[in-house]
Amino acid sequence: MKRILVLGAGGQIGTELVPHLQNLYGKDNVIGADLKDALVEKLRENGIGEKVDATDAQAVADLVKKYKADAIFNLVALLSATGEKNPQLAWNINMGALLNSLNIAKEFGCAVFTPSSIGAFGNSTPHDMTPQDTIMRPSTIYGVCKVTGELLSDYYFTRFGVDTRSVRFPGIISNGQLPGGGTTDYAVEVFYEIIKPGHHYTCEVPHDSYMDMMYMPDALNAVTQLMEADPSRLKHRNSFNIASMSFTPEILFDAIKKRIPDATFDYNVDPVKAAIADSWPNMMDDSCAREEWDWCPKWGMDAVIDDMLAACRRKAGME
């Protein structure tokens, strides 16, 4: 990879992936593209920013040609909870952006990274130590898009030789840009809320729902490590389970309370999020990623809590 086009660059992952890529490949070799003007402006403050609708194949192809990109990182997605409000729109956006990326990559010889998710699994998947290769029958349109995306990406590799690679991301905890519309969002929101006067957070996910989570620095390393991995070692491509920690809201909140003793928590459970959380793995088995490209996360829950609280306080001008 020498020159990378990042689609959906202004979102939760893109906001931190773009600088990570700039550090590795140089500012001139990372093109951040997004649909929203304000996000494009932000991208332009620190590098190359382009406005693009990723569902417009010609517009994406023009960017690949203009910058001679040799890799497309497609981060465009409507997440799980939002997707349930408008399944047709979720399908159009999630699959439209991916199909365009794959077809353009095929035409111009680019590699493609697209994140999959724990959302690709469903109720009939084994929930504990969820295997790499297992039953995948998700109950959300987001999950249907993720499974379809994994199959399509493998198809473009075997049929057309497009270098497609992907990871199944857990909920990602970060402090650059807030996530939006996901089921795992509570694990980010709580840090922003709990430092405010009153120190209270109301959670929409049931207290005992285990889900895989990951801190952004590990997620970023996963992307670049996989994309740089020796292809001869890869038995899988789309998509690898990656895991680093798993907890319930109750476990996370108890650990936050140890740091902020007057913090209080309650629950106003959203039935859609509850059903989604219930259908997802408790913890994935990521041994294939460890064997095939040396995946090795560094962050655990306690270190993440300390780092998130410090970062959110800094952002709020409290430190």
Cα radius of gyration (the chain): 19
Pick the catalytic residue: 142, 156, 186, 210? 142
| Whether the Cβ atoms of residue 299 and residue 239 lie closer than 8 Å to each other | no
Of 42 and 146, nearer to ligand AKB (C-beta) is 146
| Residue 274 CB neighbours (<10 A) | 16
Of 82 and 103, nearer to ligand AKB (C-beta) is 82
**Closest residue to ligand AKB, based on beta-carbon distance:** 182
Q: How far is the CB of 96 from ligand AKB (least distance, A)?
A: 18
Cα–chain center distance at 236: 19
Asked if 142 is an active-site residue, the reply is: yes
The binding site for ligand AKB (CB under 6 A) comprises 79-80, 117-119, 142, 169, 171, 179, 182-184
Of 8 and 171, nearer to ligand AKB (C-beta) is 171
Q: How far is the CB of 73 from ligand AKB (least distance, A)?
A: 16
Of 8 and 179, nearer to ligand AKB (C-beta) is 179
CA angle 167-171-172, nearest 5°? Answer: 85
Q: How far is the CB of 173 from ligand AKB (least distance, A)?
A: 10
| Whether the Cβ atoms of residue 128 and residue 282 lie closer than 8 Å to each other | yes
* Three-state SS annotation for 205-233: CCCCCCEEEEEHHHHHHHHHHHHCCCHHH
Specify burial of residue 235 (Cβ count, 10 A radius: 0-12, 13-18, 19+): exposed
Q: Which residue's entry shows tokens 């003793």? A: 261
Q: Which residues are catalytic?
A: 142
